Amino acid sequence: MNQLKSFSCYILQIGHMYGLHSVFEEFLEMAVCALSLGAKEDRYLEIVRNYEKPDAYLMSEAFGALVMEMDNGGKGLKDCFGDFYMEYISHGHNGQFFTPEPVCDLMARISNPSGVGERVADCCCGSGRMLLAAAKISRDSLFFGADIDRMCAMMCLINLCLNGLLGEVCWMDTLMNRFYAGWGIELHPEHCVPYIREISETESYMVLKLPDKKQEIVDKQVTKLGVSQQLLFEF
């Protein structure tokens, strides 16, 4: 019977006891830790200690249910996070309404990523729907996402990794070019499976490599005009 439950049913059940927002955020971080193949074991154990043992087991069952949902009848590339996030977590705050999947599919067909190793990037990736849509056309591309919301960055990261899509996701303010954390999705050198590796700002492809003086000018202009305005710069 448990296998028929969606991951969202598990999260709602645990969230009723511990608080839905914190449960969902910790579920995402635990998934990232699990997909890091042992590198984040200490952080995983630190989180899981916040839960009674039966509830910790429910978290693992939620992850199993997520994997089965993402399988999508063998086709994969299904975003199981976005609708749940909008309905139960963000409630549309800060304009967090994700692009509907059919629109993502249309935009991906227009851009038509097709080359092996071609980079596909979304600087405001949300749960990663646009990148998943691009992968429906070509899984051989490299996928790059960034979002100012940490939970969104983790949702996108998990979506890419569980679908075997290589690339990078950053938690960052792309308008201000400020990096907070980043992860690469790579093939493990020993096990040859996709895994998550934490990366530094200097390793990141999504961070613009600006001279210090030019970055200072960008920061001043953004502060003066307000972060709600989109600025275009020539680099």
Q: Which domains does the chain have, with CATH numbers?
A: 2-74 (no CATH), 93-225 (3.40.50)
Structure confidence at residue 113 (pLDDT): 80
Structure confidence at residue 212 (pLDDT): 66
Per-residue pLDDT of the chain (235 residues), as tens digits, is 344 689 999 999 999 999 999 999 999 999 999 999 999 999 999 999 999 999 999 999 999 999 999 998 889 999 999 999 999 999 877 678 899 999 999 999 998 887 677 899 999 999 999 999 999 999 989 999 999 999 999 999 999 999 999 999 999 999 999 999 999 999 998 888 999 999 999 999 999 887 765 556 556 656 665 544 444 333 3
Q: Identify which of 127, 118, 119 has the alpha carbon closest to the alpha carbon of residue 147.
A: 127
d(CA 6, CA 2): 9
Backbone angles phi, psi at 76, to 5 degrees: 65, -160
Structure confidence at residue 165 (pLDDT): 96
Token output for 231 = 């600025």
113-117's contacts with Cβ under 8 Å and 24+ in sequence apart are 113/137, 113/138, 113/141, 114/138, 115/140, 115/141, 116/140, 116/141, 117/141, 117/142
Structure confidence at residue 41 (pLDDT): 95
